[in-house]
Amino acid sequence: MKNSETVRPELPNIIGLSHICIFVDDMEKAVEYYRALLGVQPDHCLSHWKNKGFFQAGGFVEQADEGDVSIAFVNVPGTKLTLELMQYHSPKGRTEPVIFAANDVSGARHVALKVTNIEEAFAHIQAMPDTRLINETEAYRVYQISETRPSEVRFFDQAPGQTDERNDETARILSKVRYFYFIDRYGLQWEFEEGHTDIGD
């Protein structure tokens, strides 16, 4: 990580769309719902994932040790779009969806973009007016996902407890991802991530 005092703000060097996130109340049921609705192809998931780096990047800097989340990555057929279905077990948030009218100012839960200059992009977002980091304390910065074990990853075509080389590769890639979240002036939450290659693609 670069020294934040020496990093010059730069426009993010965006190299692709990573995913669009939807918060759900039951990850497994949400997978089946989107399979029936859009014909999504489930790829892999993390059940009751307790990853300190993930929660720090998500803004839960002080509560990161207590975090517990389930995440599923599903691919929308005919597109390069991946949906990230996320269910927080702890800390708990609102559990009822808010339905907005077509003309209400709002957006998706978050849109994740792949970048190659994460520290400079972080400095750029900090310098932007009408934009705020997900956690506005001095402790918030770019965080790296903590080490992830292959046994924490499950592909939807695997039997319980089964692993193969995909688990090893996905755990290796996840453990290198660095990212942060921010909110734009219209309330849309963004994630910039660096080091994410091919997961959910």
- Give the pLDDT band (50/70/90) at residue 16: very high
> pTM of whole model > 0.95?
no
DSSP string, 78-107: TSS-EEEEEEEEES----SPPPPPTTSS--
Q: Is 169 helix (H, G, I), strand (E, B) or coil?
A: helix
- State the Cα–Cα distance between residues 46 and 78, nearest whole angstrom: 25
Q: What is the mean pLDDT of residues 82-104?
A: 87
% of the chain at pLDDT higher than 70: 93
- Model confidence over 34-81: pLDDT tens digits? 999 999 999 999 999 999 999 999 999 999 999 999 999 999 999 999
- Give the pLDDT band (50/70/90) at residue 121: very high
Closest by CA position to 146, among listed 47, 80, 84, 65: 65
Can you say how many angstroms the Cα of residue 50 is from the centroid of all Cα atoms in its chain? 14
DSSP string, 45-90: EEEEE--HHHHHHTT-TTTGGG-EEEEEEEEPTTSS-EEEEEEEEE
User: What's residue 100's pLDDT?
Assistant: 76
- Give the pLDDT band (50/70/90) at residue 126: very high
Q: What is the 3-state secondary structure (H, E, C) of 104-143?
A: CCCCCCEEEEEECCHHHHHHHHHHCCCCEECCCCCCCCCE
